[in-house]
Amino acid sequence: MRIAAHAGLGVLGVVAGVAGSLVQGGWFPFGVLLALAGCAGLFWGGALLTRSRIGAASPAGGWVLSVLVLTVTRPQGDFVYAAGAGSYVYLLGGMTVAVVCATLAPSERPLFAVPQGGTGR
């Protein structure tokens, strides 16, 4: 079951990478922010769903794979990423978000844990 969950998260990472690559160039600067927010939601959601750091790394791996494939220029001269600030912010920001989500993944407590204790006095 875990393997299927991680494979599904990897596929969602590929989809998020392709969608973010197309959105980030369309509505600068809001497209970059929207694409990074979608990536952050997917990476953090994967970490929460699986309760592990690999849960954040699985969609991040799919995201990186799709982004690397889309950075290649075709022989006809077509490309997805222009040489501009938005493209670099999306690429570096996506990597940063992936590392932060994998680092901060809450794996030691249950998914909807309510802290036990007093009133905080």
Is 90's pLDDT higher than 70?
yes
Residue 120 lies in a domain: no
Residue 21 lies in a domain: yes
Residue 51 CB neighbour total at 10 angstroms: 15
Is 58's pLDDT higher than 80?
yes
pLDDT at 79: 74
Residue 97 lies in a domain: yes
Residue 96 lies in a domain: yes
Residue 59 lies in a domain: yes
Residue 92 lies in a domain: yes
Residue 118 lies in a domain: no
CB burial of 27-36 (b: ≥16 within 10 Å; e: otherwise) equals eeeebbbbbb
Residue numbers of the domain that contains 36: 1-72+81-104
Q: Say if CB 29 and CB 77 are below 8 A apart.
A: no
Burial of 53 (0-12, 13-18, 19+ CB in 10 A): middle
Q: What is the pTM of this model?
A: 0.83
How many domains does the chain fold into? 1
Higher pLDDT, 67 or 83: 67
